[in-house]
Structure 1
Amino acid sequence: MRGRFSTQLLNVCIASLCKVRKFEKAEVVIVDGIRVGCLPDVVTYNTLIAAYCRFVGLDQAYLILRRMREAGIKPDVITYNSLMAGASRCHLLSYCRLLFEEMNKNGIEPDEWSYNTLMHCLFSCGCPEEAIQIFSQMTSKNITPSIVSYNTLIAGYFKSGRAVNAIMTFRRLQKFGFSPELVTYNIMLDGLVKSGKLGQARRVLQEFRESGLVPNAVIYTTVMKFCFRSKKFDHGVDVFYEMMGKGYTADVFAYCAVISALVKKGKTEDARFFAQQMFRKGAGVDLACYNALIYAHCKERNMNAALQMVNEIEECGMESDEYTYSTLVDGFCKSGDVDSAWNQLRAMEISGLGMNLVACNSLIDGLCKAGRVNHAIHVLKMMKIRDSFTYSALIHGLCKARRFRAAAAFLFNCLENGTNVLRSAQRAVLHGLRCSGFRKDAKKVRVAIWKAGFLNYKS
């Protein structure tokens, strides 16, 4: 009795030390326990494995499994479930499969959590068919799926683009007498909104209201996103205020949803108010919120305010990302200040983000509209990746500058390489060549366009 109590006390000490990430001290406690005759059991090592999987590394956790065997302690299903959970968090599908197979090979029967973990990992790693087979295998092994199993399956269906299967599973769940819980409704609402099935989301939301479940902050945030996707901006903001009135602390995701929606509606001042409120409430600082505000200022051609937001990003200890720089480049170009746009592109390159395709395309378009076609060609030569818009913008710029033969040369190159060019750009080249008296060149371009279209049709 004394030994069992001592082992329990040892396990409590190990759990406490692992919780505060004092792994070296936890190892010392195990050694000291063995020295005084207090032998660790499977719970001791399971606690250590779970902590190592989360905070140290999967390989180090697996080494503990070997130590268990050397000590004569047989791993159990919880041991392998902890290791599989660690592999799933790291999206190591092959590792997760091997652990599942090893568990079966060692005569340890996988339980519901084993199947749920493997199923989640398969969905996360883009193997939905195999995940569905695992779910079927679980039922064939007489393991009754719990609500967690169904939640994993529904979330996986949405993640793999199978919204219809998710809805059918949800309805089957209700038919079999399972009462969907808060997490289930949140998965359904989030998945339906992201899939664009707003009508279905509206019905599920109504069912949730009739279920008597008390919404949490996650549900409120999901409903807000649903309202904004449905263009019901005012109702979405009302949901946000209702959440705050219920005493929930809105996180950065809730604030970002409101701020982004207000920016899209053109209510920049309201968006700034919510951003300031977010900072005062201590919800955290998020780059996505700043980017949304920068986009709003650029849309209003208020570039000084946009640059002020960039300074605030730096003061908060964050770094601008590709979206930040691309938005600034596009904003300066639309404001007619291509030199500042060029400076922002150079700053993005110096920061190590490289030359973003969207930013380069915006600059080329801006330079062409400003009549600086040679500079646009220089930017084109610097780009490693180009797309249809890159060449279309440049060809339009060359035509605007009445350099129709140069535009035709770029168009020929695109047609030979299979790069699509906007029909408006093709028409501009043909019209310009004809009006300038280059009818033979226009005929060649027309034939090349016809051949390219014919080949694309055949392929």
Structure 2
Amino acid sequence: MLHSYRKSNGDNIALTSRSAVLLLKCLGEAQMVDDSLLLFKELNSSSKSCGLCNELLKGLFKSGRIDDALHVLDEMLERDSNFPPDDFTGEVVFGVLGKQEHHGRRFADKEVVGLVTKLCEHGVFPDAFKLTQMITKMCRHRKNGVAWEVLHAVMRLGGAVAVKAASCNALLAGLGRERDTQRMNKLMAEMEEMGIKPSVVTFGILVNHLCKARRIDEALEVFDKLRGKGEGNNRFDVEPDVVLFNTLIDGLCKVGREEHGLSLLEKMKTTKQSRPNAITYNCLIDGFCKAGNIGKARMLYSQMIEEGVQPSVVTLNTLVNGLCKHGKVHNAVEFFSEMKGKGLQGNAVTYTALISAFCGVNNIDKAMQYFDEMLTSGCSPDAIVYYSLINGLSIAGRMDDASVVVSRLKRAGFGLDVACYNVLINGFCKKKKLERVYEMLNEMEETGVKPDIVTYNTLVSYLGKIGDFATASKVMKRMMKEGLQPSVVTYGAIIHAYCLKENVDEAMKIFEEMCSKSKVPPNTVIYSILIDALCKNSNVERAVSLMDDMKTKGVRPNTTTYNAIFKGVRDKKMLQKAFELMDRMIEDACSPDYITMEILTEWFNAVGEIEKLKCFVEGYPVSSSYASSPTSNCML
């Protein structure tokens, strides 16, 4: 055919418009795009028609030749064009603009708005389906501004027939995802002006948006308007569907208004087209589980079964997770077994909840049992399952088993994060396996995981405990070189280590350096460690001065602190100081424990001051009545 055309063209025989279309169609089917373009350029204007251009556009768009297609459109859209666009042109162009994927480059935002506008100016409008398709695509690509311009171009240029509720719904959904409340309200007002009646989907989008923004009362107002309960012109007789009910119930449960959600469930039961389904019950069960009302959640599950609504794996996971989170792991296991007996198998989420729960209560054997069952059932563990097991095994001191799980984690394609490395390093430190600790540190460096303050604190604490203060000092220097400043835990670890080695002088040097050079103030734990160590070293006066220092700096002593200083002043027979400290303990609202009472009872019995101890226990000052007789009234 192309050869025949060339021959006739050489003989100055012009193609008819119909013949040109037929030839172009054949070239298009043969994917001879370049020949199609060449033919179009060679044809004289009398042979060109809108039908010919449409056929060429189809082929160009199909081949991804976007720029060439736009050049053809430019010719068609010229003011005095002999072949202006028709409805079929619009069908081709709007179809391409609405496709999720197409060959060739993407259209620029300006090109999209420009094409729609120019076609509408020529009286070519997208139908409701094509318009909705275009807006949906733009909104999914987070181009709400472009979608807004396209819809309003169609509205402005007279394409009101195409603008239906579905097109507006598509734009409302996009605006809702971006939380653009202002434009949502504006579009709703424009729909009312144009007489476009909102559908149940429209209200579903609005309610969903308001629920996600936790504006539940406004969502309830919209729901009332939907059912014709609004006032004046704000009334719409639209029957809510199950999706809308579920959206609102879920929103209510997420803000702790489960009982209100329950009342909506009862309303659903009175309608034929909005009967509660598994999603309805799942939302409510989840809400009551999170509120700690497990009994109500179980009751809803029973009600669900009675109503003939089949529970899903989501129902199973919601109840298992809720029971585990509230310490009812045994009940969770029983419920899981019951569901398996009914043919409902768990998934990775079910096993993750159970494994994490058993790790949390230090029942590692049971956690491992469910891990093995998970693998056998064909569920692929996620990183959370592996991390839970590694953490639980490390805390339990089962480092060999933890290492096995680490190997499985790596084979599954996951990597360790800094938190997981810290757990392992801490576990190996407790087992005194320094070579494995360094192995972990080397692995962190190789995989690009930077140690954090917890990593360094763990190392400093361990090195201090084994008396390797030189290496501990090097670790602290490296930590600071990495831009991490020693925390109160770091200082506490090294101070505690020196005290354990009975090197209190060195511990005090670190303490003084902490107070003078660092920006980290000592806390109650550090003061307690030093006071206890000083008293054991018979340096009670210095321990008392630290108690005074705590008062000056506003650091509140705890019962452990007081017990340490009471032992010290007892050994030094500093009775008056003991009375002062007892009064201070009352002022600090610090309750004595059995150790406090044991220290003071034995001492005060020996020195005949048991009445003062009674006053102290009853919360009355004792030092002011020191000169009085032992039988003086505490109330004086």
Q: TM-score, normalised by structure 1?
A: 0.75
Counterpart selection for 2:364 from 222, 225, 233: 233
CA distance in 1, matches of 2:547, 2:406: 37
**Higher RCO (CA-CA < 8 Å; seq separation 6+):** 1
**Unaligned stretches of 5+ residues in structure 2:** 1-86, 92-123, 459-486, 500-506, 535-541, 621-636
Aligned residues of 1:298 and 1:331 also touching (Cα < 8 A)? no
Aligned residues of 2:418 and 2:449 also touching (Cα < 8 A)? no
Counterpart selection for 2:593 from 422, 426, 445: 422
The reply on whether 1:257 has 2:380 as its aligned counterpart is no
Task: State the shift of 1:10 in Å.
Answer: 2.2
The reply on whether 1:85 has 2:208 as its aligned counterpart is yes
The reply on whether 1:145 has 2:276 as its aligned counterpart is yes
Whichever structure has more helix as a proportion of its residues is: 1
Larger Rg: 2
Counterpart selection for 1:266 from 374, 379, 397: 397
Q: Which residue of 2 aligns with 1:444?
A: 612
Q: Which residue of 1 aligns with 2:170?
A: 47
**Letter in structure 2 aligned against 1:446:** K
155-164 or 165-174: which moved more? 165-174
CA distance in 2, matches of 1:60, 1:429: 73
Render the CA deviation track for 1:253-311: whole Å, top value 9, x for unaligned. 222221222123222354355456546745466565456446545755789959x77x9
Judged with a 3 Å threshold, the aligned counterparts in structure 2 of structure 1 residues 171 and 177 are, in CA distance, closer, same or farther, namely same
Counterpart selection for 1:121 from 246, 251, 264: 251
Counterpart selection for 1:22 from 126, 140, 143: 143
Aligned residues of 1:294 and 1:327 also touching (Cα < 8 A)? no
Task: State the shift of 1:184 in Å.
Answer: 0.8
Task: State the shift of 1:398 in Å.
Answer: 1.3
CA distance in 2, matches of 1:54, 1:36: 28
Residues paired across the two proteins, number:
435
CA distance in 2, matches of 1:71, 1:275: 63
15-24 or 121-130: which moved more? 121-130
Three-state SS of the structure 2 residue aligned to 1:370 is: helix
**Unaligned stretches of 5+ residues in structure 1:** 453-459
Aligned 1:103-252 pairs, distance under 5 A: 103-104=226-227, 105=230, 106-107=235-236, 108-140=238-270, 143-228=274-359, 232-244=363-375, 248-252=379-383
Aligned residues of 2:179 and 2:209 also touching (Cα < 8 A)? no
CA distance in 2, matches of 1:81, 1:122: 15
Task: State the shift of 1:185 in Å.
Answer: 0.9
CA distance in 2, matches of 1:125, 1:341: 50
Render the CA deviation track for 1:138-162: whole Å, top value 9, x for unaligned. 4356642111111112112211211
Task: State the shift of 1:241 in Å.
Answer: 4.6
Q: TM-score, normalised by structure 2?
A: 0.56
Task: State the shift of 1:100 in Å.
Answer: 3.6
Judged with a 3 Å threshold, the aligned counterparts in structure 2 of structure 1 residues 292 and 7 are, in CA distance, closer, same or farther, namely farther
**Letter in structure 1 aligned against 2:132:** N
Judged with a 3 Å threshold, the aligned counterparts in structure 2 of structure 1 residues 153 and 70 are, in CA distance, closer, same or farther, namely same
Render the CA deviation track for 1:349-377: whole Å, top value 9, x for unaligned. 97xxx99xxx9454344334433845576
CA distance in 1, matches of 2:222, 2:453: 41
Judged with a 3 Å threshold, the aligned counterparts in structure 2 of structure 1 residues 420 and 205 are, in CA distance, closer, same or farther, namely same
Aligned 1:270-419 pairs, distance under 5 A: 270-271=401-402, 274-275=405-406, 278=409, 281-283=412-414, 289=420, 292-293=423-424, 296=427, 305=437, 316=449, 335=497, 360-371=523-534, 373=543, 378=549, 390-402=557-569, 408-416=579-587, 418-419=589-590
Three-state SS of the structure 2 residue aligned to 1:130 is: helix
Render the CA deviation track for 1:29-53: whole Å, top value 9, x for unaligned. 3234445655433223323333333
% identical equivalent positions: 22
CA distance in 2, matches of 1:291, 1:264: 11
Aligned residues of 1:395 and 1:407 also touching (Cα < 8 A)? no
Aligned residues of 1:333 and 1:363 also touching (Cα < 8 A)? yes
**Letter in structure 1 aligned against 2:339:** F
CA distance in 1, matches of 2:168, 2:351: 40
Render the CA deviation track for 1:400-430: whole Å, top value 9, x for unaligned. 3326655654543453565534343344345
